[in-house]
Amino acid sequence: MSLRRLRNRAIAILSRAASESETRVMMMEGVEGDAAAVAAAPRYVLNPARISSEDILFCVDVDAESLVEMKVTGPGGRPFARLDAIKQSLLLFVHSKLAINPDHRFAFATLSKSAAWLRKEFSSDVESAAAAIRSLSATSACGHADLTQLFRIAAHEAKKSRMQNRIFRVILIYCRSSIQPQHQWPVNQKLFTLDVIYLHDKPGPDNCPQQVYDALVDALEHVSEYEGHIHESGQGLTRILFRHMCMLLLHPQQRCPQDYLDIPKSLVKKSPAADSAPAEESAIVPRQ
């Protein structure tokens, strides 16, 4: 091989080696730069937060519409009213909530024209709660519903709860399809969280459940300290009421906005036949 050819090959080998060395240096500089950027980025720290025990006030609508029959029957074929289903769902909630944390406490009120105490003492005792629930009974048609007294009671009790490092929640179960609840409450006074379960008839000439629902949403957003949730059903099915009550087991300090809530999820794998079957649709349009 000629001397010139050997020299050209040596130059090519040296050039390739220099190029590879430069590439490795650039890669190392890139890695070091990425590491420096990661090191310079602020570190996310999740600060510890105490999840407070709850004082929960149930307020049950005892208007005559709470006696509307559900689509199930009780023992011996006896008609099963909304109030019967509400009582069972309250027992389900109390037992489940105490299984999560036995330090939660409950009290009970009723709503006719305004709110009134049913059992004022907050307690974790299941038998005491069950006795209060069994004593619930409906009244005649009330004509209107004023939530102002309920909010006054809740604000007064919430201040006492805060002194004990607890938080206060009201769970309102409302049953009127044509009576929009009213209230007079300052917008800057948020001492408790309001959740609502709304059981109603299908829309018709004599009722306006959509307007009632919107009024309940306004009240919830007006008074709630944490994220309040509202669930409704016009299906007359007890299982839907129980599902809604179980969803309210969510602690207010651990909630996401309700629009992002995608539970419960079905445990049954969907089939094409199931997908084509008509779903249970609500006549109520949720507020965005």
Query: Which pLDDT does position 259 carry in this prediction?
Result: 83
The model's pLDDT over 67-117, given as tens digits with 9 standing for 90+, comes to: 999 887 777 777 789 999 999 999 999 999 999 999 999 999 999 999 999
Of the ranges 38-52, 171-185, 258-272, which one carries the lowest mean pLDDT score? Answer: 258-272
Contact 58, 171 (CB under 8 A): yes
Helix axes 82-100, 238-247, angle to 10 degrees: 30
How far apart, in whole angstroms, are the C-alpha atoms of residue 219 and residue 191?
14
Helix, strand, or coil (residue 89) = helix
Checking if the pLDDT of 247 tops 90, the result is yes
Neighbours of 142 (CB within 10 A): 18
Query: Which pLDDT does position 93 carry in this prediction?
Result: 97
Neighbours of 161 (CB within 10 A): 21
Classify burial at 71, counting beta carbons within 10 Å of its beta carbon; exposed 0-12, middle 13-18, buried 19 or more. exposed
Neighbours of 220 (CB within 10 A): 21
The model's pLDDT over 113-150, given as tens digits with 9 standing for 90+, comes to: 999 999 999 999 999 999 999 999 998 888 899 999 99
Query: Which pLDDT does position 50 carry in this prediction?
Result: 82
Query: Which pLDDT does position 180 carry in this prediction?
Result: 95
Provide the token pair at 77. Answer: 């074929």
Query: Which pLDDT does position 285 carry in this prediction?
Result: 61
Read off the pLDDT band of 284 (50, 70, 90): low
The model's pLDDT over 21-49, given as tens digits with 9 standing for 90+, comes to: 545 544 545 545 555 555 566 777 777 77
Tokens 């209060």 sit at which residue? 132
Q: Name beta bridge partners: 232.
A: 198
Read off the pLDDT band of 249 (50, 70, 90): very high
Residue whose C-alpha is closest to residue 199's, from 68, 78, 87: 68
| Torsion angle of C-alpha atoms 117, 121, 125, 126, degrees rounded to 10 | 0
Q: Where are the domains of the chain?
A: 67-148+194-206+219-261
How far apart, in whole angstroms, are the C-alpha atoms of residue 199 and residue 282?
11
How far apart, in whole angstroms, are the C-alpha atoms of residue 148 and residue 142?
16
| Ramachandran quadrant class, 126 (left: phi over 0; alpha: psi -120 to 50; beta: rest) | alpha
